[in-house]
Structure 1
Amino acid sequence: MRTPDTLFARLFGVSLVAIIFAHLLAFLWFQEYGFPPPPPPPNMSEQQMQDFERGEQPAEHMPRPPRPWFGGPVVPLFFQLITLVAVAWFGARALSRPIQRFSDAAERLSENLDSPPLEETGPREARQVAHTFNQMQRRIREQVQQRARMLGAVSHDLRTPLSRLKLRLEQLDNEKLQTQMRQDLDDMIGMLDATLTYLHEQRTSEAQQWYDVQALVESLCENAQDHGADVQAVGTCAPVLVQPMALRSCIGNLLDNALRYGGATVVEILDSRTGVTLKVIDHGPGISADKREAVFEPFYRLEGSRNRNSGGVGLGMTIAREAAQRLGGQLRLEETPGGGLTAIIELPRA
C-alpha cells in the first residue's frame, strides 16, 4: 500500500482512520451492552421501580449480556481518548521530524560548506524543501569557490606590478619622493595582505580536535619574546576541543594588537568546568567604551595611537572576533584596571 504523498494527506488520513476506529469501538460497545437506561417514567409503581433499578428487561425484549461493573460510556470514551492521543503524537512527530532534519542540516552547513547534502525523502513538502536547501548549498559553495579564484587572481595580478614599482623607485633621484612613494607602496601591500588574510580566514574551515591551549599561548609569547617584546603567559588549563588554526589566528591577532599599542602584555589563562577564558591584558591608551564594538568592523581604525601609522589596517580585531565565533566562543573588550585594554576570549568546553 502506497503512503500518501503529502504531509497533509498523511495527517488527514491517519486522523480520519482514528476517528472512524474510535466511533466503531463505541458503536460495538453499545451494541453489545446496550445504551445506559433512560430515566424512570413518572407514576411508576413500587414494584416496577424495583424492577427498573435491577435492570430487568420486559419479557418482550431480547436478553442482553449483563453490563460490566464499570458500566456506562467510560470504556468507549477511554478508547477514544487513547486513540486520539496516539494520533496527536504521530502527527506532532510527523511535523517535527522534517524540521529537525532541516535544523541539523543547517547546523552542519554553518560549520562546513562541504557537508553531505540533505536526503530528498519523505512527504512532498519535505522533498521540496530538501531540494531547495541542497540547491542553496551548491550555490553558496560555487560562490565561495568563485571568490577563492578571484582572490588568487587579485593576489597575483596586484603583487606583481607593486613589486615592479618598488624596484623602479630606486631609479628616482629625489630621495624624499622616493621615501614617500615607498611608504605608500608598503601601505598598499600591507592592506592587500591583510585583506587577503581576512577573506582567507572567512572561507577556511577545519575539523575540531583536542588542543593544548596553554602550550599555544606559551609558544606565541615565547616567539614574541624572541623579538624583544615584553609579554608573559600566566595560568594553566586542560586541552579544549577547538579548531587550532582559528584559535592561533584569534590569539595571535590580539597579542600583536596589545604589543603594538600597549607595550607590556600579560596573557592570563583561566580554566573551569564549562570552558576556558583567555585575557590579553595591556596598559596602553585603551579604547573608549563607545568605540569598543566599532573596532570589530572591517577596516575601522581609531584616531590617535591606534591607527594605520602605527602598523594596523583595521582588520586584526575583525579576524580575531570571527575566529572566536567559529570556535563557538565570544570575544569582548574591557578596560584594564589602572588603564589599558583587556581582550577576553571565552571558549566553551561543550
Structure 2
Amino acid sequence: MRSADTLFARLFGVSLVAIVLAHGLAFLWFQQYGAPPPPPPPGYPMGEQRLDDPGLGEAFEGTPPTAGPKHFPGPPERSFFGGPVVPFLFQLVTLVAAAWYGAKLLSRPIRRFSEAAERLSENLDSAPMEEDLGPREARQAAQTFNRMQRRIREQVQQRARMLGAVSHDLRTPLSRLKLRLEQVSEEKLQNQMRQDLDDMIGMLDATLTYLHEQRTSEALQWYDVQALVESLCENAQENGSPAQAQGQCAPLYTQPMALRSCVTNLLDNALRYAGPTTVSLEDSTGELVIRVIDHGPGISADKLETVFEPFYRLEGSRNRNSGGVGLGMTIAREAALRLGGSLALEKTPGGGLTATARIPRLPKV
C-alpha cells in the first residue's frame, strides 16, 4: 500500500484511467451507432437498389443475381455526430486532460522546492517546508530540506558564537598590551608597537563587521537613497574630504542597511585612495544606478575584479596613513548582490575609477 502513494503510482494511475476511459467512450459510441456497412460483393457496381429486389439477398449469400440488371447499394450517409470524428475527439480530450493533470502533479513538488530554496537564499530563518503535502517522495525530500536548513542555521549560529568568543578573547589581551606600552621608555618603539596594535584591532573589527553583514537578513522597506547620498557627501565635506552628489531618484523599496553599507564603502574607498569624488544617481523604471566616480590614479584592467577579493590590497594602499584592511570593496559587492543587483569597476574617462552599482526596483509585496 505504501507504493501506491508514490509519484510514479499516481502518474501511472492517471494515465491508465485516461486510456481506459478514452477506449470506453469509443466503445460506447460504436455500440450506439453500430459498425460501418460491409463492402459490396465483387462484380457489383455501386448505385441505387430497391429494398425488395431479390438479387440483393442473393448477392449477400455469394450467388449471382438471377433477374435483370441489379446494382449494389452504396453505404448510407452518416451525420457528423455518427462519423469517426466524435470518438477521436473523445480520446483526444481525455488524453489531453490526463497529460495536463499528470504534468501538474509532476511540477507541483518542484515548484514548492524552488520557492523554498529562494526563501532560504534570502533568509536562513524563513519558514520550513510543509512535510505532509504531496506524494511520498515529495514528503521525504521536504523533510530532508528542512533538516538541511536547520543544520545550516545551527552552523551559522555556531560560527557567530565562535566569532563573539574570539572577539572577546582577542580584545582583552590587545587592550592589556596597549596599557603595557606606556611602560616602554623608547618613544619610537612605543609608537610602532601602538600602530601595530591599532592595525590588529582594526582588522579584527573589519572582519567581524564583514562576517556579521554576511549573515544579516533585513526586511524590505522604502528608503530615500537621494537623502542618504547627500548626507554622506555633506559629512565628507565637513571632514575635509571633497565629495559631491549629482542626480535625483525616487525612494527605493530595498534593504536600507545593505544599501547604506554598499554606498558608504564605495565612497570611503574613493575618498581614501583618489581624493575628490562624485556620487551620481541615475533613476529609471526598472533599476537605480549609483556611480561613484573619482579621478585618481586608478588601477590596471587586470585588477578590476581582484580588488573584490577579501583582504586584497593594492601595493600602493598598504601604507598606514591611507591603507585599509582590504574588505571595503568586498563588503560593497556582497551588499549589492544581497539587494539583487551588481557592482562593477571601470576606468573613468580621462583617468580614475568608476564603481557602478545597479540596484533593481523590487515590487512591494
TM-score range, shorter chain: over 0.9
Measured against aligned partners, the alpha-carbon deviations of 1:182-239 in whole angstroms (never above 9, x if no partner) come to 1111111111111001000101111011110000111111111121111001111000
Aligned residue in 2 for 1:42: 42
> Does structure 1 residue 104 correspond to structure 2 residue 115?
yes
1:301–1:308 contact (8 Å) kept in structure 2: no
CA distance in 2 between counterparts of 1:228 and 1:4 reads 75
1:83-122 mapped onto 2 (5 Å cutoff): 83-120=94-131, 121-122=133-134
> Does structure 1 residue 52 correspond to structure 2 residue 96?
no
> Does structure 1 residue 244 correspond to structure 2 residue 256?
yes
CA distance in 2 between counterparts of 1:215 and 1:178 reads 44
Aligned residue in 1 for 2:230: 218
Aligned residue in 2 for 1:59: none
1:225–1:231 contact (8 Å) kept in structure 2: yes
Secondary structure at the aligned position of 2:292 is classed as: strand
Most deviating of 262-271 and 171-180 = 171-180
Give the C-alpha shift of residue 171 in structure 1.
0.4
Secondary structure at the aligned position of 1:39 is classed as: coil
2:44–2:71 contact (8 Å) kept in structure 1: no
Compare CA radii of gyration and give the structure with the larger one. Answer: 2
CA distance in 2 between counterparts of 1:3 and 1:40 reads 55
- Identical amino acids, percent of aligned pairs: 76
Which residue of 344, 348, 358 corresponds with 1:332? 344
Change (3 A) 1:39 1:170: same
Most deviating of 74-83 and 37-46 = 37-46
2:265–2:332 contact (8 Å) kept in structure 1: yes
CA distance in 2 between counterparts of 1:205 and 1:180 reads 40
1:1-350 mapped onto 2 (5 Å cutoff): 4-44=4-44, 47=49, 48=56, 51-55=72-76, 67-120=78-131, 121-304=133-316, 306-307=317-318, 309=320, 310-350=322-362
Give the C-alpha shift of residue 36 in structure 1.
2.4
Secondary structure at the aligned position of 2:273 is classed as: helix
* Consecutive aligned runs of 4 or more in structure 1 exceeding 3 Å deviation: 45-52, 66-72
Change (3 A) 1:270 1:148: same
How many residues of Structure 1 are paired with residues of Structure 2 in the alignment?
338
CA distance in 2 between counterparts of 1:84 and 1:189 reads 71
Aligned AA for 2:150?
R
Secondary structure at the aligned position of 2:73 is classed as: helix
Give the C-alpha shift of residue 176 in structure 1.
2.0
Secondary structure at the aligned position of 2:8 is classed as: helix
Aligned AA for 1:91?
G
Gaps of 5+ in 2: 50-55, 57-69
What TM-score comes out, normalization by structure 1 length?
A: 0.93
Aligned AA for 1:37?
P
1:254–1:280 contact (8 Å) kept in structure 2: yes
CA distance in 1 between counterparts of 2:323 and 2:296 reads 15
1:3–1:10 contact (8 Å) kept in structure 2: no
Secondary structure at the aligned position of 2:28 is classed as: helix
1:36–1:72 contact (8 Å) kept in structure 2: no
Change (3 A) 1:180 1:24: same
Aligned residue in 2 for 1:61: none
CA distance in 1 between counterparts of 2:80 and 2:239 reads 93
Gaps of 5+ in 1: 56-65
